[in-house]
Amino acid sequence: MTTGFFHDERTLWHFGAIHTGNLPAGGWVQPSNGNFMAEAPDPKRRIVSLLDVSGMMARLDRRSADPASEEALRRVHPRDYLESFAQMSANGGGSVGQDGSFGPGGYDIARLSAGLAIDAVDAVLSGALDNAYALTRPPGHHCLPDRGYGFCLLANGAVAVEAAIARHGLSRVAILDWDVHHGNGTEAIFRDRPDVLTISIHQDNCYPINSGAASERGEGRGEGYNLNIPLLPGGGDQAYRDALDLVAAPALRRYRPELIVIASGVDANALDPLARMLAHSETFRWMMAQARALADELCGGRLVAIHEGGYSEVYAPFCAHALIEELTGERSAVADPVLDFVRAQQPGDAMRALQRRLLAEQAEALGFAAQA
């Protein structure tokens, strides 16, 4: 089996407004002496480094890509948004929306990030690769058609899906988003479309605030093709297993997609500063194993993961490494140094039972058969 890894060092040169942690510096917030942006390059760079030193990179088909074309971007983003973004980029940088700042050349870097996603999907659909992981930056799942949002400047995953529909004539694509934050941008882009099923598993009311409720099911012809699975904060490993088993997997089986795209955030990890979910590396490994099995069952193994969030410099690399190992079907000698500690922090029986009951109620409301 051949797994592609799509990455370009230039995407790690993206930078934006000065932050301290996840807060813009200024006023009462003292500037940091370290990283100057919440969505910093270091976690992603460390993913690449760990793949290199573990020997996993040698087992991957490593590729870069051309920047996304204007034609590809305009399937999602209006011309005036792209022109404004490009002009600000040429003039030294600016902001295209909430938490949407960037520096000189930011538009070109964002186009490259989207291009990585497009080429990863295209390589799998054309049969050149069995599956693929695109380490994109800046991320994309919060970006709205007409403005950036939540560190996302272009909607990488949505742009790649639209390119796949245009090039390969797909009629049913599923996007499974396990980033810890609600995939509000992806939802907005496809909310009235039956040809794209969007599933977002996220910490309830984490980001954006008041977004991603289970009651938000799409609109018009797309009603029923948008699925939100909000999880209680601190739900940990079992919450993600139950969310997939009880709700996401039955939804995918009912839909029977021709391609599964994963919005692969690793910010549900226990050490992430922007969430409170207590997942660990084996959570992510298990989720990828389920995604692979579902892709084999439903769409000939056509599976592409597009990186989203993950802000713990020390732990995001171990979680992403586990995902990529599972995607290839191989293992390395890498050992998660905090796995035992995070497993010991998992919630107790009462919390797990409450979360499972809520998910079972959602599954029943959707018409999915109960599982023991």
Residue with tokens 């993913």: 47
pLDDT band at 30 (very low <50, low <70, confident <90, very high): confident
CA 164 – CA 366 distance, rounded (Å): 28
**pLDDT, position 305:** 99
* Catalytically annotated residue among 7, 77, 142, 307: 142
**What's the angle, vertex CA 71, arms to CA 67 and CA 74, rounded to 5?**
100
| pLDDT above 70 for 34 | no
pLDDT band at 370 (very low <50, low <70, confident <90, very high): low
Q: Is 257 in contact with 298 (CB distance < 8 Å)?
A: yes
CA 24 – CA 20 distance, rounded (Å): 6
7 is catalytic: no
Among 13-17, 95-99, 115-119, the least confident range: 13-17
**pLDDT, position 372:** 45
pLDDT band at 202 (very low <50, low <70, confident <90, very high): very high
Mean pLDDT value of segment 119-124: 98
Q: What's the pLDDT tens digit per position in 134-150? A: 999 999 999 999 999 99
pTM over 0.75: yes
| pLDDT above 60 for 53 | yes
Mean pLDDT value of segment 109-122: 98
**Which domains, ranges and CATH numbers included, belong to the chain?**
3-7+39-62+114-365 (3.40.800.20)
| pLDDT above 80 for 37 | no
**pLDDT, position 35:** 58
| Token pair for 248 | 């996401």
What average pLDDT does the chain have? 96
CA 42 – CA 40 distance, rounded (Å): 6
CA 111 – CA 102 distance, rounded (Å): 13
Mean pLDDT value of segment 155-171: 98
CA distances from 166 to 32, 190, 230, 362 (A): 45, 15, 32, 34
Q: In what order do the strands lie in the sheet with 131-134?
A: 61-63, 3-6, 131-134, 303-307, 259-264, 173-177, 196-203, 226-231
| Token pair for 77 | 């983003």
**pLDDT, position 36:** 61
Q: What's the pLDDT tens digit per position in 75-100? A: 999 999 999 999 999 999 999 999 99
**pLDDT, position 187:** 98
**pLDDT, position 31:** 81
**pLDDT, position 132:** 99
Mean pLDDT value of segment 48-71: 98
**pLDDT, position 21:** 75
Q: What's the pLDDT tens digit per position in 321-360? A: 999 999 999 999 999 999 999 999 999 999 999 999 999 9
**pLDDT, position 196:** 98
